[in-house]
Structure 1
Amino acid sequence: MSKGKWTHLIIHHTGAEEKDTAQVRRYHLSLGWRDIGYHYVIERDGRVVPGRSLELAGAHCIASGMNQKGIGIAVLGNLENHPPLPAQEKALKQLVGELMGRFQIPLANVLGHKDVPGAATACPGRFLSMDSLRSAVMAGGVGGGSSGPAPPAAGNDGRERIYRVQVGAYKIRNNAENMAGKLKKAGFPAIIVEGTLDSSP
């Protein structure tokens, strides 16, 4: 399979509390598959374990043809029951950023399994926030399809200067969630930050 065909990154959880990647691989092989279905698995200590070769189509997401065009990344564990461990979150952010740069994949094409059109699943679990992941990757200055953002300018005090874009502030959380949903639908990463009237971002 040509590596140039990878256009998406699909994020999963393994959905069970397996001991390690080897256990997941044994299970997938027992189903008659040629190898583990994911291209990468992130273990509890943050170690990124290569899975299925990137020369092969995946076996992780049939919906929208993602097995053929989406690199499958799985976080070990059932993230319906608990959040990923800090080491896993860090490794996931780094791996996503690296693959986006390597294959020129835009941030809008980094999807949770359940976000893929046609997928009927809760994967990657309610405790893995795709909004937080995209925001962390964006803050890290990694982006597909371009050479990346320009380095931030330094202020007079020598600290790096950043620029935030705020769309609105709402007293009702549901209104904030509706706006965030519209932004995400339009392809813009959006997160909700809770504060008070006198707090700054």
Structure 2
Amino acid sequence: MHQLVAVSVIFMASRALGKGFGDKLVPFAADTNPTCQTISGRECVFPFQYNGNEYYECTHDDSKNGAAWCPTKVDKYGKAISTSHEACDPSVCNVKEACLTESGPDKGNSCKFPFTFNGKTYHSCARWEWDDNDYGKYWCSTRVDKNNVHVNNRGFYGFCGFCDNPACGCGAGACNTITLDDTVNVDDFDIRNIGNFDV
């Protein structure tokens, strides 16, 4: 009898929260980070969908002030409701440092690593090889598809600036020109960056 009452209470609670449809109980995954809150104390909703990507933690994507954010509400498809975006409280949320673009068509958005472009996968900012005013700068994709392939020809990229942010993958000199006078610490070298720097 106690089990039947418990199941009924769970079913009624799930319907009240919008988790039940019709006469069926729709199973839902437990929040992967139940204590993550916004700076105003509202609970973040994870996972959530935003611009075609799924997130299980706070993101810097399209941040207006550079702070990581999360939604406090999602629609029935799990998409973040734009009016519910709030800055995450880094004291209770797992907020990773992000590589934000400093210039280019998608300035201020976060780089999506790894990203694949023209059949090559990048784990850090890549050298801009096209002969124009941006030649020699380092860039990254700001939108990828479900296979981490850069969404091309839509302006979803930006330039990584001077790459003084380790989140840009530049800790081993990937975005800097290395001269013969520079010393590289082997412990800091990331094997994925081979071929991404000048000697």
TM-score range, shorter chain: under 0.3
More strand per residue: 2
More helix per residue: 1
TM-score of the pair, normalised by structure 1:
0.24
TM-score of the pair, normalised by structure 2:
0.24
Structure whose CA Rg is larger: 2
